[in-house]
């Protein structure tokens, strides 16, 4: 039975757009527009996450009904649902872009589950909203599969993220020009139901601030603190600068942890615009993201960003800081004195440094990492990059290597290029011996060291080409690849016998194939 308890605080407590209808418009003085999903031809359940279903107190039997596909395909509203599109702005690629808003995401409401947790349900690709501008409000199957799989993969990796309940095929096609090069084609459409305690982004606060609407900004801040940060609200006087500073500091601290996780697992978000950063410190808006194969800090999967590489792997920590600066600027009108905002930004810096240090220690299997160990990791990064080494395979394999013996052959499978392997061998042998000295000084018992490394260095990540293979099959009507990947990625830190194929170097054919190494924002 699909009988959720809804408590739609956002639409109940905050001002909505007085206008109705779908026509694109600038919406002032309001934080959302009420809008229903547009029904689709033939909604069909393609995949779902049993863990997220459980969070919502749903049994498998509830999910596998025609009613479920109708509701999450946008054809039917349940009692208590109050669908809306949120109004927000954002800085895109370093420039203020004005009002953006949910152009193809429609929130259905806030479910409170039996455990008392609040989970907002949001359909992505459910049709146009007043924020769609000239676009269609829809999403294609390939990008929906990528969002569905990665949301769940990230969760199982221990990375904060929005979740995905289900993937629904719409039975309709959507026209997309994948590389914006004048070759539009029909693609199958799909809808993902995303689930998170809150989908508020930095950009929700930037928009009223950009319009000088401090009263609306303050209402939204007070609401966000009360609903999403109750522990802070309990500790400081309502409406006080101290409370606002504590809130901003908490966002900074969570963002630091988030980015450190991305760097640990080799995730590149691809579009870190301020409308794509969550105030809860969740990974949000899976678009042209990618996973590092050969270790390259300059790599970005996003072809739209090919020239400047603003959102490349190695720059994510700096970009998050820049984005937090934009959020600080937006909420500055709530402060008479900006010390609290500066202190928050410093929490980001300190938090990232601490989390990064913890990552170095865990990835190398050390109790802790001091400056020597940080330098050791830096030296390794330089080697990995120079010799074109697979990040995931190398760190996973490192736990099993006889470092004192300089046994680099045990890591051969992580190298993409035989000549580079031969050339880099002496440098890696020397690095391994230096590493062995660190291990000896640190003296963590072997079994503990290995366990620590295996918990920080996943064996299975959602390599770009694996996702693409599952998409290729799905586009032929076979969802087997998606289901299998979802299952493998449930236990990314376990060795899963019989599943070696999911823990291999990217094959050569995938190096330059669209969808495998290059992705556009077209989705």
Residue 519 binds ligand AMP (CB under 6 A): no
Residue 127 binds ligand AMP (CB under 6 A): no
Separation CA 173–CA 188 (nearest Å): 5
Number of C-beta neighbours around residue 263 at 10 A = 20
Single residue of 45, 58, 100, 479 touching ligand AMP by CB under 6 A = 100
Residue of this chain nearest to ligand AMP (CB atom):
103
Place of tokens 């006087």: 237
Task: Name the percent of the chain in helix, strand, coil, to the closest 5.
Answer: 45, 15, 40
Closest CA to 221 of 269, 66, 232, 211: 232
DSSP E strands, 73-161: 84-86, 89-92, 95-99, 105-112, 118-124
Query: Least Å distance between CB 506 and ligand AMP?
Result: 25
Query: Least Å distance between CB 102 and Mg ion?
Result: 9
From 98-106, 253-261, 408-416, 420-428, span contacting ligand AMP (CB under 6 A)? 98-106
Q: Which residues neighbour 396 within 8 Å (Cβ) at sequence distance 6 or greater? A: 454, 457, 458, 459, 503
C-alpha 42, offset from chain centre = 29
Query: Least Å distance between CB 80 and ligand AMP?
Result: 25
Query: Least Å distance between CB 301 and Mg ion?
Result: 16
User: In the complex with Mg ion, which residue's Cβ is closer, 10 or 460?
Assistant: 10
Distant-in-sequence contacts of 484-491, Cβ < 8 A, 24+ apart: 485/149, 486/47, 486/49, 486/149, 486/152, 488/460, 489/149, 489/152, 489/153, 489/156, 489/460, 489/461, 489/462, 490/152, 490/156, 491/156, 491/460
Separation CA 419–CA 111 (nearest Å): 56
Q: Which residues neighbour 281 within 8 Å (Cβ) at sequence distance 6 or greater? A: 160, 251, 253, 254, 255, 257, 258
What distances in angstroms separate CA 379 from CA 146, 213, 418, 419, one per listed residue?
33, 49, 21, 20
Query: Least Å distance between CB 513 and Mg ion?
Result: 25
User: In the complex with ligand AMP, which residue's Cβ is closer, 177 or 417?
Assistant: 177
Residue 521 binds which of Mg ion, ligand AMP, none (CB < 5-8 A, kind-dependent)? ligand AMP
Single residue of 73, 101, 109, 188 touching ligand AMP by CB under 6 A = 101
3-state secondary structure of 290: strand
Residue 290 binds ligand AMP (CB under 6 A): no
Residue 172 binds ligand AMP (CB under 6 A): no
Residue 162 binds which of Mg ion, ligand AMP, none (CB < 5-8 A, kind-dependent)? none
Active site residues: 275
Residue 106 binds ligand AMP (CB under 6 A): no
The helix (run of H) or strand (run of E) holding residue 436 is helix 418-442
User: In the complex with Mg ion, which residue's Cβ is closer, 152 or 285?
Assistant: 285
Single residue of 15, 29, 103, 333 touching ligand AMP by CB under 6 A = 103
Under 8 Å between Cβ of 75 and 163: no
3-state secondary structure of 514: strand
From 131-139, 237-245, 366-374, 480-488, span contacting ligand AMP (CB under 6 A)? 131-139
Residue 130 binds ligand AMP (CB under 6 A): no
Residue 104 binds ligand AMP (CB under 6 A): yes
Total binding residues toward ligand AMP, as defined by CB under 6 A: 17
Please list the alpha-helical segments (H only) found in 158-197.
none
Single residue of 167, 256, 271, 384 touching ligand AMP by CB under 6 A = 271
Residue 146 binds ligand AMP (CB under 6 A): no
From 34-42, 128-136, 337-345, 490-498, span contacting ligand AMP (CB under 6 A)? 128-136
Residue 135 binds ligand AMP (CB under 6 A): yes
Q: Which residues neighbour 380 within 8 Å (Cβ) at sequence distance 6 or greater? A: 431, 435
User: In the complex with Mg ion, which residue's Cβ is closer, 206 or 285?
Assistant: 285
Beta strand pairing call for 84-86 and 32-34: antiparallel
Single residue of 87, 122, 132, 144 touching ligand AMP by CB under 6 A = 132
Q: Would you say how long the chain is, in residues?
A: 523
User: In the complex with Mg ion, which residue's Cβ is closer, 269 or 459?
Assistant: 269
User: In the complex with ligand AMP, which residue's Cβ is closer, 98 or 480?
Assistant: 98
User: In the complex with ligand AMP, which residue's Cβ is closer, 192 or 380?
Assistant: 192
From 9-17, 95-103, 307-315, 431-439, span contacting ligand AMP (CB under 6 A)? 95-103
Separation CA 43–CA 27 (nearest Å): 31
Under 8 Å between Cβ of 131 and 89: no
From 32-40, 270-278, 342-350, 352-360, span contacting ligand AMP (CB under 6 A)? 270-278
Number of C-beta neighbours around residue 388 at 10 A = 18
Residue 138 binds ligand AMP (CB under 6 A): yes
Single residue of 7, 57, 62, 136 touching ligand AMP by CB under 6 A = 136
Separation CA 32–CA 10 (nearest Å): 9
From 64-72, 129-137, 239-247, 500-508, span contacting ligand AMP (CB under 6 A)? 129-137
- Binding residues vs ligand AMP (CB under 6 A): 100-104, 131-132, 135-138, 271, 275-276, 285, 287, 521
């Amino acid at each position: 039975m699909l009988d959720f308890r809804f408590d739609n605080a956002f639409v109940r407590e905050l001002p909505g757009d007085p206008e109705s209808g779908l026509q694109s418009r600038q919406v002032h003085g309001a934080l959302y527009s009420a809008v229903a999903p547009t029904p689709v031809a033939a909604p069909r359940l393609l995949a779902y996450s049993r863990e997220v279903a459980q969070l919502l107190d749903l049994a498998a039997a509830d999910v596998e009904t025609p009613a479920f596909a109708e509701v999450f395909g946008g054809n039917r509203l349940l009692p208590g649902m109050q669908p809306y599109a949120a109004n927000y702005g954002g800085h895109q690629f370093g420039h203020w872009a004005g009002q953006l808003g949910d152009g193809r995401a429609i929130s259905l409401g806030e479910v409170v589950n039996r455990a008392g947790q609040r989970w907002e349900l949001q359909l992505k690709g459910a049709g146009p909203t007043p924020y769609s501008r000239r676009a269609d409000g829809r999403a294609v199957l390939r990008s929906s599969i990528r969002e569905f799989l990665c949301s769940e993969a990230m969760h199982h990796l221990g990375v904060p993220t929005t979740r995905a309940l289900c993937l629904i095929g719409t039975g309709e096609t959507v026209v997309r020009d994948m590389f914006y090069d004048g070759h539009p084609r029909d693609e199958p459409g799909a809808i993902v139901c995303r689930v998170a305690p809150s989908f508020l982004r930095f950009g929700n606060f930037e928009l009223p601030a950009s319009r000088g609407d401090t009263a609306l900004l303050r209402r939204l801040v007070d609401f966000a603190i009360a609903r999403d940060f109750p522990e802070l609200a309990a500790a400081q006087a309502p409406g006080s600068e101290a409370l606002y500073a504590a809130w901003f500091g908490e966002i900074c601290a969570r963002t630091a942890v988030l980015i450190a996780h991305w760097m640990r697992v080799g995730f590149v978000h691809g579009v870190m615009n301020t409308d794509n950063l969550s105030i809860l410190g969740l990974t949000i808006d899976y678009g042209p993201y990618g996973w590092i194969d050969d270790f390259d800090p300059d790599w970005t999967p996003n072809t739209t960003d090919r020239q400047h590489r603003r959102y490349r792997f190695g720059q994510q920590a700096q970009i998050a800081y820049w984005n937090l600066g934009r959020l600080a600027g937006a909420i500055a009108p709530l402060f008479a004195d900006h010390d609290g905002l500066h202190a928050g930004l410093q929490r980001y810096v300190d938090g990232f440094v601490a989390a990064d240090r913890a990552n170095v220690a865990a990835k190398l299997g050390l109790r802790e990492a001091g400056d020597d160990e940080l330098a050791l990791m830096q030296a390794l990064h330089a080697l990995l990059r120079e010799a074109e080494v697979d990040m995931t395979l190398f760190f996973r394999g490192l736990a099993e290597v006889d470092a004192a013996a300089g046994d680099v052959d045990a890591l051969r499978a992580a190298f993409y290029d035989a000549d580079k392997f031969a050339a880099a061998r002496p440098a890696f042998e020397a690095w391994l011996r230096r590493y062995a000295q660190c291990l000896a000084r640190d003296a963590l018992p072997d079994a503990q060291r290995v366990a620590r490394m295996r918990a920080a260095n996943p064996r299975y990540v959602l390599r770009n080409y694996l996702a693409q293979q599952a998409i290729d099959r799905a586009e032929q009507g076979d969802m087997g690849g998606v289901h299998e990947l979802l299952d493998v990625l449930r236990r990314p830190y376990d060795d899963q016998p019989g599943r070696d194929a999911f823990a291999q170097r990217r094959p050569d054919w995938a190096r330059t194939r669209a969808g495998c190494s290059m992705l556009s924002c077209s989705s």
